[in-house]
Amino acid sequence: MTYTKAFFEQLDKQDPLASFQAKFALNAGEIYLDGNSLGARPKAALARAQQVVEQEWGQDLIRSWNKHQWFELPYRIGNKIASLIGAQDGEVVCTDATGLNLYKAVSTALQLNPSRKVVLMEGSNFPTNNYMVQGLLSQLGDDYQVRFVEEAQLLEQIDEQVAVVCLTQVHYKTGRVLDMQAITEYAQQKGCLVVWDLCHSAGALPVDLNGANADLAVGCTYKYLNGGPGSPAFIFVAKRHHNRAQQPLSGWWGHSAPFDFKRDYQPGFGISQMLSGTQAILSLTVAEVGIDLMCAADMQALRKKSQALTRYFIELLDQECGQYGFELVSPRDDEKRGSQVALSHAQGYPIMQALIDAGVIGDFRAPDILRFGFAPLYNSYVDIWEAVQRFKSIMDNEHWREAQFNQRHAVT
């Protein structure tokens, strides 16, 4: 069929998630397709930030740790995230950066599987995961090794040497989804523990960590959970592993009694041990606004819309820009694709800059990938139509050839 604007307008009229868009501060005339890098701002985040800065910090000062439950924030928000990723209360805390949490998670998993020394990872994964594991293993000594594999060899490389399989469920560049349930089961049969990174899953699709019997997991809140720039990440440890190992960043917030100020470290009970130091209260309070919005959404409806948005974007691009040599890097199969579409093109960088200039905000990932993230809470179907019309105009007019679009910025 040939897609028309009216087709997309009709889909918007029938969209059960349509009412969420008004809850986000979006720039008029701009189509924001970068929620997989930095989610849009919930309107209510502004009032919440003002309240925390003026009242809780400004007026109540130190009393706020008790009066406004600042001390409980990592747990309270952790429990809300838990409800989005198939975990129970008390299995998740919201704290620190993803990479730091991965360090704690992989270290914990290695301690739980002490006779083995290999961590298996996908080499093409977001590099900080590799860097963090390399840093951890360099502390543990020469007999520890990382084994990098790619998806095609994944299962055959999971063997009796491997202590920990550490994978990102949705690939940050291609958007392809790994089968969490099947891989976890397979790896556990081989005697491995599995650490999942949910950076591109949480708030993008339904996740069922306990349903998959996952061991540990991490993820961020500033992408699909709309928590704000640099908002704290999260870490999940399945209840069956609580109190069986000690995470290495043993700061006072993870102590069993931080306000006893004892000389020696004594790990806290359960998930509390995963905290290290004083929490980023301003970021946590603002992040909760975005997480609350996500908790109010039906995750099955969200997944359905996400698949439709990405599918129609791919098909409309085929229709409007098919002659320009873009290759689809993301899976065409709805079930295997997360909430983003990645295309490759030799001139990807200047094309993306020209798109951004035209108000279609995606991003570029070296060497040649254009990424478009779709956030079902605030992207509409007609956004797809509008974005592809501007895309087509840039290609038809060769607008991207202008010199200004070839200057590289620090953040792409």
Ligand X SMILES: *Cc1c(COP(=O)(O)O)cnc(C)c1O
In the block, residue with structure tokens 């998930």: 271
> Does 197 participate in catalysis according to the annotation?
yes
Q: Which residues contact 4 (CB under 8 A, 6 or more apart)?
A: none
CB closer to ligand X out of 195 and 316: 195
Contact between 174 and ligand X by CB under 6 A: the answer reads no
Choose, by CB under 6 A, the member of 42, 74, 86, 99 that binds ligand X: 99
130 to 169, contacts with ligand X by CB under 6 A? 168
CA distance 370 to 379: 18
Angstrom distances, CA of residue 179 to CA of 9, 216, 283, 325, 359 = 34, 16, 32, 31, 35
Q: Mask: binding to ligand X, 24-63, rule CB under 6 A, as x and -?
A: ----------------------------------------
> Does 32 participate in catalysis according to the annotation?
no
CB closer to ligand X out of 123 and 325: 123
Q: Is 108 annotated as a binding residue?
A: no
Q: Cα 297 vs. chain centroid, distance in angstroms?
A: 17
Q: Which residues contact 241 (CB under 8 A, 6 or more apart)?
A: 108, 112, 215, 216
Selected catalytic residue, list 371, 372, 374, 381: 371
In the block, residue with structure tokens 């993008």: 204
Q: Is 278 annotated as a binding residue?
A: yes
345-348 long-range CB contacts below 8 Å, 24 or more apart? 345/370, 347/400
Contact between 97 and ligand X by CB under 6 A: the answer reads yes
CB closer to ligand X out of 104 and 117: 104
Helix (H) or strand (E) holding 156: helix 154-157
CB closer to ligand X out of 169 and 347: 169
Q: Cα 72 vs. chain centroid, distance in angstroms?
A: 23
CA distance 181 to 277: 33
Selected catalytic residue, list 41, 80, 223, 337: 223
Contact between 276 and ligand X by CB under 6 A: the answer reads no
Contact between 340 and ligand X by CB under 6 A: the answer reads no
199 to 228, contacts with ligand X by CB under 6 A? 199-200, 220
What b/e sequence results for 68-86 when a residue is b if at least 16 CB atoms lie within 10 Å of its CB, and e otherwise?
bebbebbbebbbbbbebbb
Selected catalytic residue, list 103, 126, 378, 381: 126
Contact between 235 and ligand X by CB under 6 A: the answer reads no
CB closer to ligand X out of 81 and 233: 233
Contact between 98 and ligand X by CB under 6 A: the answer reads yes
> Does 172 participate in catalysis according to the annotation?
no
If you write DSSP's letter for every residue of 31-55 in order, what string do you get? EE--TTTSPPEETHHHHHHHHIIII
CA distance 329 to 346: 13
Question: Regarding beta strands 216-219 and 162-168, do their DSSP bridges make them parallel or antiparallel, or are they unpaired?
Answer: unpaired
Contact between 172 and ligand X by CB under 6 A: the answer reads yes
> Does 222 participate in catalysis according to the annotation?
yes
Least Å from the CB of residue 99 to ligand X: 3
Q: Which residues contact 224 (CB under 8 A, 6 or more apart)?
A: 35, 36, 39, 200, 201, 202, 203, 204, 294, 339, 373, 375
- Segment near ligand X (CB under 6 A); pick from 12-20, 122-130, 313-321, 352-360: 122-130
Contact between 83 and ligand X by CB under 6 A: the answer reads no
CB closer to ligand X out of 125 and 310: 125
Least Å from the CB of residue 136 to ligand X: 14
Contact between 237 and ligand X by CB under 6 A: the answer reads no
Nearest CA among 360, 345, 369, 363 for reference residue 390: 360
> Does 7 participate in catalysis according to the annotation?
no
Contact between 233 and ligand X by CB under 6 A: the answer reads yes
Q: Is 171 annotated as a binding residue?
A: no
- Segment near ligand X (CB under 6 A); pick from 120-128, 136-144, 255-263, 294-302: 120-128
Nearest CA among 253, 287, 289, 258 for reference residue 273: 253
Binding residues for pyridoxal 5'-phosphate, as ranges, are: 98, 168, 197, 200, 222, 252, 278
| Residue ranges of the binding site | 98, 168, 197, 200, 222, 252, 278
Residue ranges in contact with ligand X by CB under 6 A: 97-99, 125-126, 128-129, 168, 172, 197, 199-200, 220, 233
- Could you give the residue numbers annotated as active site? 126, 197, 222-223, 371
